[in-house]
Structure 1
Amino acid sequence: MKLLEMNEKREELFNAIIRNAMDALIVIDAHGVVHAWNPKATRIFGWHQEEALGKPLYALIAPDNMRMSAADEDNAQQYWRTADLLVLNERTLMSVRDKAGRPLRIEATVTPLALEGRVLYCASIRNPVSANVHENTQEKSWTELPADSSRDQRMIDHLPDVICTIDTGGQFTLVSAASERIWGYRPEELLHRRYLEFTHPDDRSKHSAALRKVRQTGPGYSIDSRFIRKDGSIVHIAWSANWSRAEQHFYCVARDNTEIRNAALTLIEHEQRFESLFEHHPDGVFAFDLNGHLLSANKAFSQLTGYSGSELAAMPFRPMVAPESVDLIEQHFAAAVKGSASSLDVIGIRKDGSSFDAHLTVVPIIVNDRVVGVHGIARDVTHSKDYERRIEHLATYDALTGLPNRNLLDDRIRHAIVQAERQGGRVGVLFLDLNRFKIVNDSLGHDKGDILLRIMADRLKQCVREVDTVARIGGDEFVIVLEDVRSPEDVIGIARNLLAVIENPVALEGHDFTVSSSIGCSLFPKDGTDAATLLRNADLAMYEAKASGGGSFRFYKADMNERVKARLMHERQLRLALERGELVVYYQPRVDINSNEIVGAEALVRWHHPERGLVPPNEFIPLAEEVGLINELGEWVLHTACKQNRRWQEAGLPGLKVSVNLSPYQLAPDSTITHAVRKSLMQSGLDARWLELEITESSLMQNVESTLSKLAEIRDAGVSISIDDFGTGYSSLSYLRRLPVDTLKIDQSFIRDISGSRDDAAIVSATIALAHTMQLKVVAEGVTTEEQIRFLEEHDCDEMQGFLLSPAVPPEELSTLLNRNRSMSGRPLS
């Protein structure tokens, strides 16, 4: 590949030198036929290149219809037509005519060239010499300048090159006036001085050796050497010398070659720079000829395609691109041949048959104002294209399940509606929500929750036809679009099937988990004529199914809007309740089992609704969590409990630890619970050791690292942490080692049947024992019988609370209990 490129560049260099030469340069063969003709030749002789090529040079510069002297004609024919040119490497003066027939006096040198296995000849012709300069000049022959003393010094002084003679001692014996311009020395300053004095030291030996060889073997030589000018600068000289045995002199012509040499060096430097850029470019760089065959390619292109350099030589482009990209490449290739650069994306094919995405830039290769090929740069964009395709996929598909997302779902519903309108059919939209998914997600972690969602997605797809759509629109919510629904019974059958497959157990971490679902259904055109309305009404129906206990489906009905309005009204009333002070905090005592003393109390919020009366927390806390009021409500409860506890202490009552429940939302990564705790303690003046925060077991499993960090910060402030409803979640007891907790509260579901259920009794006793080994306090919740108390005493439970002892009471009633029963034995307290 490099050889092809080097030949191409050498040809460019050769053409550039011929094109820009100051002399007329004409290449002829042994028969005198013209093979090259540069612009300078056109300016001298008037013949354009296309007129001169292929014609005998003699016919151009000495037309037959022009009269010449017999001697001139014979000499010219001999000079330009012979197959064995007798005069080589020497300047010769001659008379010729231009295209218009005007006589010219020229100075020509013919040099043999070995090109492509044959010999050609380059004629270097100087600008026409003024006729009056040579009026009195008589050339002795066509092969050399006259050597006798009759030579006209004025004639050689008009030549641009230095004309000089050097004797056998190496001294100048004649120097033309050009020496002052080229070397800085006047001719008289050089006469009788050895030329080696002015030759660069590093070039003297080769110069001397060349002269000796010419003297011994003849006939002449050409050499490049450096000459030291009078001002000390260096000038590069192209020497031509011939030895006259008769006169024992060297006849020399010295031409200033500095500019040409510098131009050549600059060209070489540019070539090397291009070569370096070409070879080390990280992208694949290549060149094709006009027939679409590869001329050159760099290493990166070879690595990109998998072909070696030798395999790529003259290879067509088609095997390297996918069939679907061929036409596009040919279009851009054709544009480049016409002179236009362009870019395109294609699919490439490697030698091993694998494909890759490539971004191509193609540009024309222009030489002498003519397009001779096409350069290209190929960049491997497989990774970026894959990324773009992934981004495009994520814009319309769910990353977790691979199902269509909300964006694509809207399109699918609109498409189904258009089809139904054309055919007079129906479209079913089913809004499905998984019940109890949060329990699995919170207890086992989000990775297991993701597995469950993928399993459910696969099950849903198996229940519908290819033309139908199953989409995930977020969390545990899915939407199924049924096309070409003939009757509501079709939707009922699908809904029942969906409920059944969802309830099949799922094995996670060695245990079977069962979730159910709630489905809401809407029908086009009865329940809506656009995607947004159908989705909204199916969503309303789903909430109706969920409110009925889950595991069922409901069709949309108009009165569901009224229930939604009622829910929105409750939300508004809850917001107003916070503003109007309708919320109050009740306190349920916690009693030490051994001493029967009240040692703590759990703060429980109640809503004094102006119409509904006292509303328990389970009726409005979920609503507060859903609408984003839980943080505000939770902080209010925390602040109120701290202030109340401080009031009891100021009233002279002994220290009492008050526990406040935290919602999982208050432990979210972006929550400010730690700040709220510090603020409540500071504003109330309560010591941190009298405050305890209760967290459900499932809360601890959400955002584990963030939750642990927040709890550790709270505990470091002196606040106690307890786990509420322990045993209802899915955390292992060993997990407790990582938790900054002080107390376990056993859920009342285990306490309720403690006397009659061996399993519950075993669980409670084991929990108490293990908690004590971990230095944790144990509180039993929901105590309602004396038998439960005796069991807890026997197994060394620390504290208890429940209706048998006291329900949650207003702060004033708890004050009475503290004063009346704190040191009393016997039960109940109230």
Structure 2
Amino acid sequence: MDRIFNTATSKQHRARNKRVSPDKLEHILNSIPHVIWSSGPNGQLDFVSNQWTTSFGGDPTEMIGDGWINAVHPEDRDDAVASWMMALEKKSLYQNEFRLKMPSGEYRWVLIKAKPELGRDGQVQHWLGTCTDVHDRIAAQRALAEKERLHRSVLEASADCIKILSLDGRLQLMNRPGLQLMEVPDFSVLSGSFWWDMWPTAMRATVKAAFRDASAGETVRFSGYCPTASAKPKWWDVVVTSIRDEDGAITGVLSISRDSTADREKSDELRWASEHDALTALPNRRAFHNRLRAAVLRSMQNGTKVGLLLIDIDHFKHVNDTLGHAAGDTLLKEFSRRLKHSLRSTDFICRIGGDEFAIIAEEIGSSSDLLMVGETASMAFRAPLRLQGRALCAGASSGGAIFPDDADCANDLFKLADTALYALKAEGRGGTKLFHSYMREEAQRAASQLNLARLAVTDASVRPHYQPKIRLSTGEIAGFEALLRWEHPTQGLQLPETIEEAFKDYELASKIGSLMHAKVMSDLHSWRRCDVNFGRISINASPAEFLRDDYAERLLETLATRGLPPTCLEIEITEHVLMAQGSKYVSRALAALKNAGITIALDDFGTGHSSLSHLRDFPVDVVKIDKSFVKQMTLDPQIVAIVTAVINLAKSLQIESVAEGVETKDQADLLLAAGCGLAQGFLIGPAISSDSITTWIAGRAAA
């Protein structure tokens, strides 16, 4: 015992050794309720406390001189030795659990801890340690593990996806078949996450409700859609129930999900066949009426509008009579294909019989939106179709109505759209005609918009948004188009279409224009102070804004007040501006702006009646190719030829060309090949607020 304590080198330890006798120290060690031992550096025991007898039996003195490693169970010995040698090498604390041979000959699990005592040379002189019996704990752990292995084997044998959840809804376990069904490589990526976060947003309320009921002791069953980790569509039948312990207390929740995708797909196939036209694969008349009633109901609930267009193929009977029904079927299928590819993804297109089609357009803003849908449908049919070796040029006529503007219910909406189609045919086929109550209803609509504009459009409500333009050849930012947005006090941010009548009124148009100018100039000033390279900003001008005959002067004064160069600005006008009342004021204003360094852009080029003369008579620097042409470029080679001709004409006149409404890379590639200089549209970026410009430009530069 003297040798154990004499290795201490500090004065404090030496002083303590003088004060406490070896017998006293041995008595203290034997009184500690743990087995205390010491050994030489290689594990040769030189002291074992009497607690050995209390804990394990036998005489502790019989172990003196033995290496304790020799008493370790053969299966545990390699690990015990390896960890001992590592502690010896690092001169660090040793700790390990293993089976140790008892005086009775049996093996028991013990926890060994030892601390090295270092000599003056820094080497281990002694080990001072404890030995604690942990046999019962290890046995219990192993029994529990065996029980868990049994349970897991049952789980792994199931073909269903089985999950165990904690009482707060977190995933604690998921069987391997379930992981395979969900295409999850390892449970670690899900462990601890909330169960409902695995589900799509639309399903989470249902899943949370089922979990709440199950955690309260109920058994709940529901069906739902949840794709796999690789986005493979899956439908599931799910049973959720509580897990209870031996005392009946709820300790968790069990979820069993069975893959019902195959059954669902069979059911969907039958339903699809009952609701679709076999020839065109479009929804049929039955599906149309169901969808129309549902759309009207959603409109009533959400306060939105639903537009309905009924379409007839012009002279379809003549095609059947002259070319045969097979040719007529081909025409119907091609018309269906073009409709599906040209209209918005939200538009519901169906064949309601013969050569009759219908389009349900939900959440439209106004009748002009529905007319645009009708025009798009007509344009989809203008390209010739080759039938039996000959080119067939067919047309379509459409009549429309809007809920709730025109009708009070779905049935009336259908009747009014049919009435509008009949009226169009009576006047001559082609185009789109919407149902209306003539001047009274038109005046009410106009008055409503003007009143809304007077009440709502103020300095505080105008919110310019900016749509980026880029150079197609390099991708660099060329500038932005400032677009009017205004904040409705209860309905949020609004598009200019909501107050379009205001732009025909001199006072209101001038007020809105002045507000837009002030806001845009303020934004330009802020960006320049922050060294934001925003290029050139274009602003739209309506015809009424020029009637005061000081448009140019007011705009240049606003620029000067902010210290902005005219070269950072571009004014966009349409051909309607050039032909409207007061065109002489327009001509004078454009000339003044041009001389000051502001560029002039002719918007919607090619959609008017006198585009070429406008290029000759007005100081136009830029022509903007209308988005209706851009949209058709990938569908119609003739449109590509028209757009190319416009671009070449602009080049010959040293006028830059800008394509609007570029939404796909294919459109951008065709425009670049045609020599178009600039482009804007959702492919490049949507209109964004002024606060987002700096971030957008930085992100574009980083990309």
- Is the TM value for this pair above 0.5? no
Query: What TM-score do the two structures reach when normalised by structure 1?
Result: 0.32
